[in-house]
Amino acid sequence: MFSRDEIRSKIESALIEVFEERCPDKPVPNLEADTILLETGLDSLGFAVLIVELEDGLGYDPFAEAEEAYYPQTFGEFVEYFFRMQP
Amino acid sequence: MTCLRNLLEETGPNGFQLTHGNSVITQASLLEKADHLRNQYPIQSFRPLFSFDSISAALPWLVAADGLSHRIGLASPRVSVDTLDKLKKLGGFYLVVPGDEAGFQAEVVQPDAAERGVQGATEWVLTTSGTTGIPKLVPHTLDSLLRTTKRSNPKGIVPVWGLLYSFDRFAGLQVLLQAVASGSKLIVPPNDASLSDQIQFMVEHGVTHLSASPTLWRRLLMAPASRELNLRSITLGGEIADQEVLDALSSRFPSARLVHIYASTEAGVGFSVVDKKAGFPVEFIDKPPAGVELRVRNKSLQLRTRRQSVSYIGSDKQVSDAQGWVNSGDLLERRGDRYLFVGRDDSTINVGGMKVQPEIVEQAIKSEPGIAEARVFGKGSAITGMLVCAEICLDAPVTDEKAFVKSLKGKLLNHLADHEMPVRIKIVENIEINASGKVERK
């Protein structure tokens, strides 16, 4: 089991890594719980890549395992979803 | 003969209206602009290939050329100059780009005598979504493109269509033509707006009808502003719609009609499914939707319409067989009274509506030093439907595999488009080669 803080920090560093790779010219977003994911500047492909990176790092993909689709809107919701869906 | 100009006249002065960013073009001003272009340029004697970013700049041209030119083409403004050149040659086109309109008169390609005598409908040529190599030229007519569109609005309610796709793509052109043919309002957010701003723009302009790919819908669902959209009709196309996205949309927009469209660019339009369930009812095989016949051969969906794009322009490759059947390449699995889409009979990977040929990615990987073999395949994604993954064999072991993969990715960026980039590259001992010497794909 990862703690909420561990998950948050893993997601934060993975997101920043993907962001720097994909958007080298844009400023790295400041990630707060209420940060709107869409407004970070990452596109759909960026989020898909982020989820693959997190699957490699955390060992699970909550979006693939969920029976019902969930589309988080804020960074806080995204972290909470990963925390709640731990296997 | 149907042409855009006639359709616009039929809908009357209170019919079609385009709002694109700050500019508003009414039916009357659109006709006026088109007539002006017709008077100014010898449109009937050349084949224009339009490569425009702005729909408000392109639309008067389309109205002017449809019904006069023998053939008109649409190309994404994002393709390279090189590709545009090849498209011009393949289709015998003259390239029209914004700002360059005045220059072309001197350069107009004179069609041969046979073509000058051509009567009948203008050929509409769309380019397929492949970005590596040369896009294919697929011929249509306005009638074939309009086959599933409604010419009138039920109950007199005038839809307000939002457009999020590029209008030079099949899905975007369908929305544009639907709005023109039914005399509706079309709302196109400014080209450079972020998705949040695009949604805000559509909220402010009262969009009621919206069409997008499942990947784009998932992204819209992630946008808080999308809650403010008062949608009556939701259309999904460009990729296979899964049950998850259909469920999420029907719970977010409970009063909206939900339609997912199955279409292949090759076969022209396909058919739509309105029962909010993934796949399509088995009964479609016996009682096909309007104008399309369906059959299943080798688990793969085949379609036949009255009018088929018979072959690609500038290519010998036949799209349909002698009886007019087009193989979609989409594999079906029957579950109860439903056919569900379960994959492809070729190796195509559909990443958020963009098709990737794994062979091209494998070639790019193998051309880098140190790589002995590569296998590229798709992986499911809850966000983009599919993603590209790769396995590679090295000529010799490396001490730092992570660094090797990172540097390989960096080099691949120079050769591959964004959606073609493998998101995960794994170094393996051995890649199976089948009897014909090809990489084994599952």
Residue B111: what pLDDT? 47
Contact state of A71 with B221 under an 8 Å Cβ cutoff: yes
pLDDT at B254 exceeding the cut of 80 = yes
pLDDT tier, B151 (very low <50, low <70, confident <90, very high otherwise) = low
Residue B220: what pLDDT? 93
The amino acid present at B145, given as its one-letter code, is L
Q: Which of B216, B245, B384 sits opposite A48 (nearest CB)?
A: B384
Q: Which of B164, B192, B253, B381 to mutate to test the interface with A (most CBs of A within 10 A)?
A: B381
Q: Is the ipTM of this complex over 0.85?
A: yes
Q: Which domains does chain A have, with CATH numbers?
A: 4-84 (1.10.1200)
Q: How far is CA A78 from CA A82, B227, B246, in A?
A: 7, 18, 21
Provide mean pLDDT across the span B182-190.
94
Q: Which of B31-40, B259-268, B288-297, B348-357 has the lowest mean pLDDT?
A: B259-268
The dihedrals phi and psi of B364, each to the nearest 5 degrees, come to -60, -40
Q: Give the nearest chain B residue to A78 (CA atoms).
A: B222
The answer for B 195-214 residues in CB contact with A (under 8 A) is 195-196
Task: Give B85's contacts (C-beta < 8 A, 6+ positions apart).
Answer: none
Query: How far apart (Å, rounded) are the C-alpha atoms in residues B361 and B391?
Result: 11
Q: Which of A38, A47, A66 sits opposite B383 (nearest CB)?
A: A47
Contact state of B383 with A48 under an 8 Å Cβ cutoff: yes
The answer for A 17-56 residues in CB contact with B (under 8 A) is 36-39, 43-45, 47-49, 51-52, 56
B216 contacts in chain A (CB < 8 Å) = 44
pLDDT at B318 exceeding the cut of 90 = no
Provide mean pLDDT across the span B414-437.
86
Residue B131: what pLDDT? 46
Query: How far apart (Å, rounded) are the C-alpha atoms in residues B49 and A65?
Result: 46
pLDDT tier, B375 (very low <50, low <70, confident <90, very high otherwise) = very high
What's the gap in Å between the CA of A29 and the closest CA on chain B? 15
Contact state of A36 with B223 under an 8 Å Cβ cutoff: yes
pLDDT tier, B441 (very low <50, low <70, confident <90, very high otherwise) = low
Q: Which of A45, A68, A73 sits opposite B384 (nearest CB)?
A: A45
Quick check: pTM over 0.90?
no
Residue B143: what pLDDT? 82
